[in-house]
Amino acid sequence: MESPQTWEIILIGALAVLVIFIFRPGLKTAFEQSRRAPKDWAGLLLPLVLVTAFVILLLILA
């Protein structure tokens, strides 16, 4: 596979900047709302522990 040309790199960079500017207002609002939201660590840790236990069970049974 050949490396990208200079104009392709510039086009990809311009596209990335455009995407950042398009989604910036929504991201700013989402970050502000997440700071004010109550923290729910159980909602994160419970699925993480269950998935980890399931993977370990699969490894033991294999």
Total tally of structural domains belonging to the chain:
1
Q: Please check whether residue 32 lies inside any domain of the structure.
A: yes
Q: Please check whether residue 56 lies inside any domain of the structure.
A: yes
What is the pLDDT, as a whole number, of residue 58? 96
- AA identity, residue 48: L
d(CA 29, CA 18): 18
pLDDT of 2-55, one tens digit each?
Answer: 888 999 999 999 999 999 999 998 988 988 998 888 888 888 899 999 999 999
Q: Please check whether residue 1 lies inside any domain of the structure.
A: no
What is the pLDDT, as a whole number, of residue 27? 87
Entry pTM: 0.47
Q: Please check whether residue 53 lies inside any domain of the structure.
A: yes
Residue owning tokens 């989604």: 23
- AA identity, residue 8: E
- The whole domain housing 56 covers 6-61
pLDDT level of residue 57 (50, 70, 90 thresholds): very high
